[in-house]
Structure 1
Amino acid sequence: MSREHIECDACDKPNATKRCSNCKLVFYCSAKCQRSHWPQHKPDCRSFHQSLAAELAYRTAPEAPGAQVPPQTTDTCGICLERLNQPVTLEGCGHMFCHSCLRNYQNFSPNATCPFCRAQLPDVDQHSLDRASMHTARAQKISGAEKQAQCELALAEVQKILDVDPTDLRAGHMRAEILLIAGDAESAVTAFKAVLELNSSNQNVQDERRQILAQADAAFAAGDDDEADRLMTMLEQGGASPKVFAGGKQGLLETKLKLAAAQQDMADWEAAMELYMSIVRDMGDDHTYGGPKLQLKLWMGMTRVFFETGEYERAICGPGSMGIAMNRHYPGVHKYVALSEKASGDLTAAIRTASRAVLYEAPWDPDNKAENHALLNDLIAQRDESGSVTA
């Protein structure tokens, strides 16, 4: 701006060439005007100077940026300037934004900071998943209406992600888990199947992209730059590579086991066993497949299905004995072996197995301990009753 358009704050004359050296916000045409205007300007000048000093002190403080900013009290998103929709509150500074706005903002600028105070932004999706995990953990410790309320809160957090990206595997997987915990086994089965199908589709796309990349490398090595460029352009046009389960085979196995658990809750024993057998086929001779904990859950799940379908000998001699051999301290590992022995008519063996459950299984878990004691007492009572009848 030309000096001639700057007016003196004291006399309104143009071409004011001097300004306050403290705040640098007001202009004067002469030192005389500045002195005459000082009594009027003094309060504003000092107030601004103090505010500036406080801001500078805050920005250089050792605390994290935004830590001293008071929580937001308005219901308006600072990005879209509309009423908050599925709000996300930043823990560092208390400012609130629509989940979708913040997610798009981060996708546009991965290193973005809070638009208001420049505090570091968390991963908005991970923030929602963490909150969902917190509500889920609470739900698993309670029952009744309170449990359902926590599950609904967890589902609401996950839905924030799915509303923006319905193909997000992490959110889809967690939604299925929450539905299973909430007791909606049918919806959980549908959700787990959808997640597995999406993962399989994404895996196929990844495999195709790897093949194209290998072909491009071969073309470069052969000196066929045109073919290599064509293949690389094909990859670029395909966009980013879709995500698959974290943890590879272990993540896939964990999801399949949870799907089988949901099928068991629906008493769909045939579907559960079919899924278990497919896992065993995938395992093959790889005895480390999925790790010991997931393998134990596999054997325990198969033992229950064999029991429920009346194949007691297979439950006892097959996965049941394998599960106990892997970890006799794991909660519930003896239960369906003992019940299978009882159902097959061998009460002595059932009592022996139930006694081992009381002796070995998770003494720190009072619920499991009480269940094992109840099973043992029931078996002993049946033995005594059958003995008195025989006598």
Structure 2
Amino acid sequence: MEDEKPLLQYITCDAERCTKSNPAHRCSRCKITYYCSPTCQKADWKRHKLGCPPLDEARKLHANSTNVNELGLNEGITFLKEGNHESLGPCGICLEETIDDPVIFDKCKHAFCCTCLDRFQKATTLLDPEDKGSRCPYCRAEIPNLIQSTHAKVCVIVARVNRGNLSDEERKELASKALADIQMLWDTGDPGLKVNLTHTRATLLSYCGDHKAALKALKEVIPAFTEMAERGAMAMELLEKCKREDHDFIEEATKLNLIEPGSGLLKTDLVGLYFEIAKVQQKLEDWGAAWETLQYICEHFQLGSEITTHQQMEIFLSLQQCANQMKAYMHSIQFGEAIMDQNRFNPTVHKATAIAYRELGNIEEARKLAAGAILYEAPWDDENKKKNWEFWREIT
């Protein structure tokens, strides 16, 4: 294990308003924060404890690569993507002999077209919200909800893929399976469902290596998302007005046709769509296009009401990455300093800013930031620790 103590000379105490260098006292709970003295650490505890996860809990959370099968998601449902579909027929709903995208319930073995079942379960829910289409339309045996269980399973798979502890082959295999399930839901043609699945579908397409298809899918829904976000903003304004004037919101919103599906989208959802587009553009190494997309967000949406603080941090990180790739190193440093003003414990921004300083020839400042990248890296992330040490050795 590398000795981190010599690196402490490059950082300052993490307590508010303390600028003493070489902080030798490390928080024993999270192992990420450093203090110059026990006095400073005690004085800072009220603020720090809000973001001080116990190391053991954080390590377990990081190490837990969720097994989809263990969650019981999609239990009782089999999707048949290959084979003789006629042998399964007829569909228990439309009565056609050849079943389209067959869905088979393991409990009763009855088969249905995916679209037919989706429509049946939605109709059942409208008649009885407590039912959720939970019984086989043919024999009334208990069955899971197709959309909910499949979407939940896909979301878990996406979470696993995003964790980064899988090989490229495992990640692509999982993503391909989830994409097939998503496509079956997508092919039902439900507009509201397509809106909800857009981000997930694009993420899976990208993980399968088809970045261009992911970008196309995201760009296609910009008009719909924009309209829905505008309607959502109108609905929020109406809600505030109804609260002030003691009016019935449902009644007033119905008059303006704001109760329809999609009116619940917020401007932050539209920001999220543009940010997803920028991320795919970065994967395509189209840094100029990604930069323009991110700048568009900053120029057309307001921080706080339309861009969350978390979104702003992610946008600045992506802008910094683009700036480094385009050799705009002063811009990179500006974004890096803005991020560190909000969160000095982010090792990624330390390293990215160090790269910018190195390219500008300021090796001393680059070393300070490279040291921060090592010290503020998550204690359980051995792979990134190793990469940060390699970077440190490159510039020293």
Give the TM-score, by structure 1 length.
0.63
Kindly provide the amino acid, as one letter, of the partner of residue 79 in structure 1.
I
**Cα gap change, 1:96 to 1:364, in 2 (>3 Å):** farther
CA drift at 1:261: 1.1
Task: State the structure with bigger RCO (CA 8 A, min sep 6), 1 or 2.
Answer: 2
CA drift at 1:337: 0.8
CA drift at 1:360: 0.6
CA drift at 1:70: 12
Partner of 2:370: 354
Deviations 1:323-358 (A, max 9, x none): 223223335222221111111111111111111010
**Structure 2 residue 140 is the aligned partner of structure 1 residue 118:** yes
**Cα gap change, 1:296 to 1:204, in 2 (>3 Å):** closer
Partner of 1:275: 293
CA drift at 1:190: 1.3
Q: Report the Cα distance in structure 2 between the residues aligned to 1:373 and 1:187, rounded to whole angstroms.
A: 37
Kindly provide the amino acid, as one letter, of the partner of residue 388 in structure 2.
N
**Structure 2 residue 124 is the aligned partner of structure 1 residue 100:** no
**Structure 2 residue 152 is the aligned partner of structure 1 residue 136:** no
CA drift at 1:128: 2.3
Aligned residue for 2:331, secondary structure, equals: helix
Q: Report the Cα distance in structure 1 between the residues aligned to 2:286 and 2:386, rounded to whole angstroms.
A: 28
Deviations 1:78-107 (A, max 9, x none): 333445433445588775533211111023
Residues 169, 245 of structure 1: 8 Å contact kept = no
CA drift at 1:72: 12
Deviations 1:133-157 (A, max 9, x none): 2333344442343332222211111
Residues 71, 95 of structure 1: 8 Å contact kept = no
Kindly provide the amino acid, as one letter, of the partner of residue 261 in structure 1.
K
Give the TM-score, by structure 2 length.
0.63
Residues 90, 96 of structure 1: 8 Å contact kept = yes
Q: Report the Cα distance in structure 2 between the residues aligned to 1:370 and 1:244, rounded to whole angstroms.
A: 47
Q: 1:243 aligns with which of 252, 255, 262?
A: 262
Q: Which stretch of structure 1 is more off in the superposition, 130-139 or 71-80?
A: 71-80
CA drift at 1:176: 0.8
The count of aligned residue pairs is 290
Partner of 2:189: 165
Residues 93, 119 of structure 1: 8 Å contact kept = yes
Residues 70, 94 of structure 1: 8 Å contact kept = no
Structure 2: gaps spanning 5 or more residues:
1-75, 81-86, 126-130, 238-246, 248-253
**Structure 2 residue 350 is the aligned partner of structure 1 residue 334:** yes
Residues 77, 144 of structure 2: 8 Å contact kept = no
Q: Report the Cα distance in structure 1 between the residues aligned to 2:225 and 2:145, rounded to whole angstroms.
A: 22
Partner of 2:319: 302
CA drift at 1:162: 1.7
- RMSD across aligned C-alpha pairs, in angstroms? 3.7
Structure 1: gaps spanning 5 or more residues:
1-68, 212-220, 222-230, 381-391
Kindly provide the amino acid, as one letter, of the partner of residue 154 in structure 2.
A
Partner of 2:277: 259
CA drift at 1:170: 1.3
Residues 245, 252 of structure 1: 8 Å contact kept = no
Residues 70, 93 of structure 1: 8 Å contact kept = no
Q: Which stretch of structure 1 is more off in the superposition, 110-119 or 124-133?
A: 110-119
Between structure 1 and structure 2, the one with the greater Rg is 1
**Structure 2 residue 177 is the aligned partner of structure 1 residue 153:** yes
